[in-house]
Amino acid sequence: MYLAKVNYKNENIVQILNSVLKDLIDENTVVVCIGTDRAIGDALGPLVGTMLKNSDFKFPVYGTLDNPIHALNIYESIEHIKLSHPKGNFLAIDACLGSRSSIGNVQVRKGPILPGKGVGKKLPQIGNYSIVGIVDKIDENNRFSFNNVRLSFILELAEIISLALLLST
């Protein structure tokens, strides 16, 4: 269920995201950023995590450029996070594939992230709520076409999501 769906070019995107996020965030909020910096299109989560950590975000944040949560460590990472925060209100952040027309949309959803779905992997889900940035289209082989994703675009999405979260607390 979408709580917000807005394109990054919308001049009011931070305010729109902030108005939704401030109602989701509580004292048990834990932010879990999924992705890897080894592929530009998948670096959205770790960039957001790093930006939040560097801004002294007042809630726990997992998944940064230095310590990413990705396909190779996601099982142990999620287990550790859930054990560390048994009452956690998990907010998961990840890059996502979509239709060509939805590229650049930031979506806030009720429910978990399904990591790896866009690249044909079945990985454990996480999140009471999720924020996804649509960073690329699904091609005929259901694979990222990483050559088409610009770092400046991913960085801009990460800055928008981070700012909306920082203003929500």
Cβ atoms of 79 and 131 within 8 Å: the answer is: no
CATH of the domain at 97: 3.40.50.1450
Distance (Å, whole) CA 43 – CA 47: 6
Q: 113-155: per-residue pLDDT in tens?
A: 987 766 667 788 999 999 999 999 887 665 555 557 899 999 9
- Give 62's strand partners: 32
| Per-residue pLDDT at 123 | 84
> What's this model's pTM, rounded to 2 decimal places?
0.94
Structural domain count, the chain: 1
Q: 70-99: per-residue pLDDT in tens?
A: 989 999 999 999 999 999 999 999 999 889
Q: Which domain does 147 fall in, by range?
A: 2-167
Total Cβ atoms within 10 A of residue 146: 13
